[in-house]
A and B are shown apart, each in its own frame.
Chain A
Amino acid sequence: MVAREGTTVNEILRTEGLTKEYGKKVAVSDVSISVNEGDVIGIMGPSGSGKSTFFRLINMLEPPTKGTVVLDGKEISTSDSDVHMTRRKMALVLQKPAAMNRSVFNNIAFGLQLRGIEDEEVERRVTDYLGRLGLAESKERNARSLSGGEMQRMCFARSVIVEPKLILLDEFTANLDPQNISILENAVRDFVKRGDAAAMIITHNPFQAKRLCDRSVLMMDGEFIEQGETSKIFSSPSDERTKAFVSGEMVF
């Protein structure tokens, strides 16, 4: 994003040489990126290219084999005793939605309650999000009984409601109908409109990347083979592999 006159744009996240090996398999290989406030960054790439692993590394759910993650100016590590406090600055919506065996309300309230927010405030904010994501009528239902689309909206609300600096969305609209997709995409726009937050979005849909993301990266075999303005990646790819990937993805 271009800095407005007289303001500085703060960096929220930086990874340097991030690498993750599972035995011989290199899932993420020497990946570096910088994410500023207001950014919406798309992560694309074929299945198994390491996108979800990259998110888990950023979220400190697994230690990297090599490399560093700098969040809000501070290098973080899974072995920090306060890693969960650091993690509270981010929110990860996992590729596979998971509901806790409790009501929709209590699922969405979970992160707020962990942060010791008062009941009235929790009630107010959860009700607000339930309304925004069209879940008001499902408030008291057990979250496990939700439909796929409702579940994805709930998982999204549950993560965004804690107002993280950085939200990591792993295929958050996969398998959804156009209406659900547009509800969630608008919610992402609202989220970054705040100005001091950023989003990273793993998607297999280049049109979604174009709609939402100023910048995108293309991942292949664990590496970032392309990084730049989203439209440029599609119009003038620099890497041969990108061309092959792009032409394949654009055909429906």
Chain B
Amino acid sequence: MVDVITYDVVQVTILSLYVSGSATILGALIGVPLGAAIGLKEFGGKGLLKTITYTMYGFPPVISGLFIYYVFSRAGPLGDFGILFTPTAMILAQTLLVIPLVAGVTISSVSEVDRNIKNTVLSLGASDRQATFTVIKEAWVGVITAVMIGFGRAIAEVGAAYMVGGNIEGKTRVLTTAIMLETRMGHFEYAIGLGVVLLIVACGVFLFMRWLQERELL
């Protein structure tokens, strides 16, 4: 039975981790500062921006895929990059999904840090940037949670990965798209087997992060 799967499951798993891991890191690099800025600064339209961020939690992966597909398609504005149907395109599409989640959870965590902490830090002579950094540190557990939720969304989604990746064997096939393929071909055992791998990978990453956190390495 095993010979039905002709592609390398290990490689597919590694690609999943690479694509979703990169999307999470990119999304965190953008989403954490964005969320901190929205959460800590006072400006007109702040409430609206928060609402938009929270609404984007529900942003459908297919729409993100469609957007990246359009932008990087041959006729699209960035078509010359030729990254459609490569892991890079998948990373970008997933990054779009990760950003609002990370930003949103960061907004809530920094808002929960006592407003007095920021004033205390400022009154001790910190610059605005140093104060923001200190508040992010105070909200650290929440920020890490935000990043983990972001990773959870990226590794689990299939729509964006399929649209801009194309599920090309040996090139852009990841766990979720492979499961879809096997199911469609009626190979339920393999689909379930891959599903178990996906579950182990996703939960394993979460467990590892928890482990780091408990040892205060994160």
Contact = CB atoms under 8 A, between A and B. Distances in A.
Contact of B130 (A94, A97, A100, A114): A114
A98 B125 contact: no
Contacts of A56: 119
Interface in B109-141: 114, 116-117, 119-128, 130, 134, 137-138
Interface SS majority for chain B: helix
Interface string A68-111: 00000000000000001101101110101110110000000011
B96 to A, nearest CB: 32
Contacts of A100: 117, 120-121, 134, 138
Given A96-B116, A98-B114, A61 B138 contact: no
A162 B125 contact: yes
A87 B117 contact: no
A94 B138 CA distance: 18
B123 A87 contact: yes
Given A98-B116, A98-B120, A114-B126, 16 more contacts: A61-B123, A84-B125, A84-B126, A84-B127, A87-B122, A94-B119, A94-B123, A96-B114, A96-B116, A97-B116, A98-B117, A100-B117, A100-B121, A114-B124, A115-B125, A162-B125
A59 interface: yes
A159 interface: yes
Contacts of A110: 121, 124
Contacts of A87: 122-123, 125
B123 A162 contact: no
Chain B interface bracket (under 10, 10 to 19, 20 to 34, 35 or more): 10 to 19
A158 interface: yes
Contacts of B121: 100, 110
Interface string B94-119: 00000000000000000000101101
A82 to B, nearest CB: 9
A158 B124 CA distance: 8
B26 to A, nearest CB: 28
Contact of A84 (B119, B122, B137, B138): B122
A88 B123 CA distance: 7
Interface string A106-127: 0000110011000000000000
A110 to B, nearest CB: 6
Chain A interface bracket (under 10, 10 to 19, 20 to 34, 35 or more): 20 to 34
Q: Please give me the 4 A-B residue pairs with the lowest Cβ-Cβ distance, nearest first.
A: A98-B116, A88-B125, A111-B124, A92-B123
A197 B216 CA distance: 41
A94 B116 contact: yes
A61 B119 contact: yes
Given A100-B134, A100-B138, A111 B116 contact: no
Given A98-B114, A98-B116, A98-B117, A159 B125 contact: no
Nearest to A95: B116
B11 to A, nearest CB: 42
A91 B123 CA distance: 6
Contacts of B122: 61, 84, 87
11 contacts: A56-B119, A61-B119, A87-B122, A91-B123, A91-B124, A96-B114, A98-B114, A101-B137, A111-B125, A114-B125, A155-B120
Nearest to B131: A84
Which residue of B123, B128, B137 has the most chain A CB atoms within 10 A of its CB atom? B123
Interface in A136-182: 155, 158-159, 162
Contacts of B128: 84
Contacts of B123: 59, 61, 87, 90-92, 94, 159
Nearest to B140: A101
B44 to A, nearest CB: 15
Contacts of B119: 56, 61, 92, 94, 98
A110 B117 CA distance: 12
A97 B117 CA distance: 9
Contact of A162 (B114, B124, B130, B137): B124
B115 to A, nearest CB: 9
Contacts of A88: 125
Which residue of B114, B120, B124, B128 has the most chain A CB atoms within 10 A of its CB atom? B124
B29 to A, nearest CB: 23
Nearest to A56: B119
